[in-house]
Amino acid sequence: MSRALLIVDVQNDFTEGGALAVSGGDAVAAAVTTFLAAHATDYTVIVASRDWHDPDGDNGGHFAETPDFVDSWPVHCFAGTEGAEYDPLLVTDAVTHHIRKGQGMPAYSMFEGTTDAGETVGTILTAAGVLSADIVGIATDHCVRASALDAIAHGVHVRIVTDLVAGVAPEPSERALAELVHAGAELVESANA
């Protein structure tokens, strides 16, 4: 059975010191690297996404001077800036596909982005015959949640690797995980993945 690893938004602006830093982001980056060193060959495809917002404009209302932190946010992950790059603790050598999302518009799910060649996550998974995906990354309560829901909608069995994700806040992260379990996802730890 073909499996995928989906690595969501492990970027400088979402880890410590970034514009929208998530506590534990650097630890997730390092732990995903350790996990990849031991398990990369377990996966047919390894897809990593990054927010890649246009430097001009508000990206469809995604950016705001007084953000509500639900639908609008401080400026982050401008295309080509250090903030949009992968966290340096994340080694991406094993990644087979790099996805950029949010180019001029809000985008939470990696399924909303494309590779430089125009491939979507859905087409990548279908072409590889992927039936199961493990999801890791940032943030549990936003882009991990949205990506997992889209993977489930795509017909993929999803496992959230709970020690390889970090959320913005504990309560919404717990709600997101409960929602994902209700939608059919499984929660696992990396030692059992």
Distances (CA, A) of 1 to 14, 42, 133, 157, 169: 33, 10, 11, 11, 35
Residue 9 bears catalytic tag:
yes
Exactly one of 87, 134, 143, 150 is catalytic; which is it?
Answer: 143
> For 44-86, what is the HEC assignment?
CEEEEEEECECCCCCCCCCECCCCCCCCCECCCCECCCHHHCE
> For 132-170, what is the HEC assignment?
EEEEEEECHHHHHHHHHHHHHHCCCEEEEEEEEEECCCH
Residue 77 bears catalytic tag:
no
Helix pair angle (170-183, 145-153), 10° resolution: 10
Nearest to 186 by CA among 157, 150, 149, 156: 157
Residue 101 bears catalytic tag:
yes
Exactly one of 9, 13, 134, 150 is catalytic; which is it?
Answer: 9
104 vs 120: CA distance, rounded Å: 17
Exactly one of 101, 134, 141, 150 is catalytic; which is it?
Answer: 101
Token output for 32? 């995903």
The catalytic site residues sit at 9, 101, 143
